[in-house]
Amino acid sequence: MAEGQNQAEFKVWWDEKEQVVRIIAIGDQTEEIAREMVAKEHQLITSLNKKGIRVINVLCDVAKAGTASSPARKFFADWIKEGKVNKFALCGGGILQNTTANFVFFFAGFKGVKSFTDEEKALKWLKEA
């Protein structure tokens, strides 16, 4: 990636060992990227529900994430409002990422979110009842 370029991408998968949906967000998130990410999350959650997994906890690595556009933030908030996620842990974010995420979750009225600097602590929190 060239200096000054902010290539947006993401990865979404089920971590069988930890029993969490994992997300890695890289770069700035546009509405298009948000739509692609949420579509992937919908597919994964639907698949997990079919396997009898109903409690969905998410660990999102935002260490390399940039900003999210206003339409992307709204799209993420609308997804959270659907109520399919139990807890959402953010890991590795700085002030920019955590402020953006807090705005999204506040707008969605979702209180089951917490930011962490350490992945082990995030996983421990997600596993608590």
pLDDT block averages, 10 residues each, the chain of length 129 = 58 96 94 94 94 94 92 94 94 89 92 95 94
pTM exceeds 0.85 for this model: yes
pLDDT of residue 3: 41
Topology of the domain covering 9-127? Transcription Regulator spoIIAA (3.30.750)
- Pairing of β 57-68 and β 87-91: parallel
CB under 8 Å to 110, separation ≥6 — which residues? 80, 81, 85, 88
